[in-house]
Amino acid sequence: MIVGIEVGGTFTDLVMADGDGRLTVHKLPSTPADPSVAAVEGLEQLLDLSGHAANEIAELLHGSTIAANALIQRNGARTVLLTTKGFRDVLFIQRQDKSTVYDMFYRKPEPLVDRDMVLEVDERMSAAGEIVMPLDDAAAATLIDDIVAQHSPESIAVCFLHAYANPAHEQMIGRIIAERHPNIRVSLSSDVAPEHREYERTSTVLIDAYIGPAVDRYLARFGERTATVGITGTPLIMQSNGGVVPLATARRKAANMFVSGPAAAVTAAAEVAQREGVPDVISIDIGGTSCDVCLITGGRPQTTVKGTSEFSVDGLPLNVVMTDIVTIGAGGGSIAHIDAGGMLQVGPQSAGADPGPACYGKGGENFTMTDAMLLLGLLDPSTPLPGNIVLRPDRSEAAAAELCETFDLTPDGLAERVYRIAIANMAQAVRRVSVKRGFDPRDYALLPCGGAGPLIAAALADEVGMDTILVPPHPGIFSALGLAIADIRIDYARSEGAIRLTELSAKDLARRVDDLKGRADSEYADLRYAPEELALEFAVDARYVGQGYELRVPFKPQELTGGPDTLIARFHELHQRQYGHSFEQSAVEAISFRLTARRARGSVLAAPEANGSPTTEKQRNVSLLGETAQYPSYTREKLPAGFTANGPAVVVESTTSMPVPPGWRFEVRQGGAIIVERSET
């Protein structure tokens, strides 16, 4: 028995898989004040639904937005940053580039701490890792005691110059703090982000320290509450890289949890894409608050790389290996409003789980995307949403009144415009992960998930020019499903600073590979996994000499027995695809060697069995793509493999609906997914 629990901003999703791959799914509103409350309550309800006891669960997996919330809301811990003497202002100087180039009033992002919370330590390492100025133990201990007395920090971040090349001084400071002040959390840059680029490394370790106590408390509370329910094993926690780690490991690496929930959906999308023989997809996960988009090529999700798809939060770099997800504030709860220029906009503000959209009847007064979809007929008011939420069209019309008066529109006309604006915003996110990265979205299938994903899929595909939609099984609880199938995954990096690949012999390359492999074998041994259980994926971050950013070049160790020629040729190929040109005569240098170590857990996906007859049960008026028509309704659970039908139609399931407009057709695949394609007629 495997259970996945994913906490979103609006709903908490749960899935239980037995040994035969049969699934029991459940969904309930989140509890923003304490997300673990809905998680544990949902677990108890899931056990009641399935008829199983908690002690039958072999694995419990969890993804949460706790790290993202703590950072975005700026309510993290009181944090002190220790840095090398003379480098106190790195955090404030930042970089010269502007996120909005033509903004005359641009201001650099505000760091998480004030300057008086950044303190210097008299020590120094060279770029090669040689000690230039030794760290004095006694002086460091006195400094730490003074800092604790004056600033009372909950957390201390340590980022010394060139600590990626030699972490000895950071480790010494970490030991001093642990011995003298064990209640203070310590984050070392050599553990969190052992890579060059001083500002990005400083920002990342500070983020880890800032959100660390909140993440640690939440995960500890989650572990205690699940144990009270009767869970006997150690929960596994989803990381931003799309893999899971034991709860104790996740508590030590808070920064790695930032896109925990969205990464789980991408993991499930990659699994379904490969299983259905459609390995190139763009996943779009739309919940109540946000829209998360990721490019998956050959069944592999893109990961962030500095210079091409680096990740930042409110402009603050977060330099860890992450699934390359573009997130915008567009979801079912996104609020329609008038901007400063008098134009109608949708989001990023959201009605969230409490009070929710106006049609929920829970006190919400704003007109949202969900209200628009209800008035357009995409949602059926006679079918309650998860959590027994009964939809109220009258409340939607009342919430629309002010905007209708402003723009001289009927409620249906307003709904059409709100829907189209939201689709346009999501289309821009799709282009950011594809066109901006050098990929044509028309070569990909759209994989929608989340409660609102299938509801917008056809309109979004039409907007971007995509011809195929792959609707996975159970799209409304897809992140929870991703948790249940995710591998255990840990990423490692060995930063070189910069070294020309032609200067590295086959032995030099093998030494770097062996170093990374040894670190993985050791850490997984602590988790009681043998080296032969691991799948290892190596890569190098490389660039032309003189460039500022890198491309990540995958390789297999056996390809390096003859030296670096294979790496150099592959880099030229990737550069050509990414930028449209390459310079074969230019020297290529390595910045960091990387290893992703996975321990496969095995898929729990099984094709759902049809239960009933695939006849249309009723029809309803639906307005989609500028046309209104009668849409026959099909219940997904009753559709057998091989069933096909032409649009207009709407496929309804317990957690979402999929409208298929005229000019499109759908087919149920053997694996349980539904393929929606433009029809030839």
Q: If you search the block for the tokens 């962030």, which residue do you land on?
A: 304
pLDDT value for 319: 87
pLDDT band at 419 (very low <50, low <70, confident <90, very high): very high
pLDDT in tens, 479-505: 888 888 888 899 999 987 789 999 999
pLDDT in tens, 359-369: 988 888 999 99
Task: Please name the fold of domain 488-599.
Answer: Dna Ligase; domain 1 (3.30.1490)
Q: Which carries the bigger pLDDT value, residue 317 or residue 387?
A: 317
Mean pLDDT, residues 437-452: 92
For all residues of the chain together, what is the average pLDDT? 89
Looking at 291-410, list the stretches that DSSP marks H as alpha helix, in order from N- to C-terminal side: 369-375, 393-407
Task: Please name the fold of domain 2-71+216-236.
Answer: Nucleotidyltransferase; domain 5 (3.30.420)
pLDDT in tens, 267-308: 999 989 998 999 999 999 998 878 889 999 998 898 887 665
Mean pLDDT, residues 255-260: 87
Q: Which carries the bigger pLDDT value, residue 26 or residue 78?
A: 78
pLDDT band at 649 (very low <50, low <70, confident <90, very high): very high
| Integer Cα distance of 373 and 332 in angstroms | 9
CATH for the 73-215 domain, from 3.40.50, 1.10.1660, 2.60.40, 3.30.2130: 3.40.50
Locate the domains of the chain by residue range.
2-71+216-236, 73-215, 488-599, 619-678
**DSSP for 275-315, written as a single string:** HTT---EEEEEE-SS-EEEEEEETTEE-B--TTTS--EETT
Mean pLDDT, residues 87-95: 92
Mean pLDDT, residues 238-251: 89
Mean pLDDT, residues 669-677: 90
Residue 20 predicted with pLDDT over 80: no
Single-letter amino acid, residue 558: Q
pLDDT value for 605: 62
pLDDT value for 109: 87
Mean pLDDT, residues 521-548: 92
Cα 190–chain centre separation: 24
Residue 594 predicted with pLDDT over 60: yes
Q: How far apart are the first and last CA of the chain?
A: 46
Mean pLDDT, residues 409-430: 94
Residue 611 predicted with pLDDT over 80: no
Cα 154–chain centre separation: 27
Mean pLDDT, residues 642-668: 91
pLDDT value for 609: 65
Length of the chain in residues, anyone? Answer: 681
Residue 345 pairs in a beta bridge with: 337
Single-letter amino acid, residue 185: R
Helix H or strand E encompassing 526: helix 506-526
Q: Which carries the bigger pLDDT value, residue 356 or residue 608?
A: 356
pLDDT band at 262 (very low <50, low <70, confident <90, very high): confident
pLDDT value for 643: 92
Distances (CA, A) of 525 to 30, 233, 256, 520, 597: 36, 18, 21, 8, 12
Mean pLDDT, residues 242-254: 89
Mean pLDDT, residues 599-621: 71
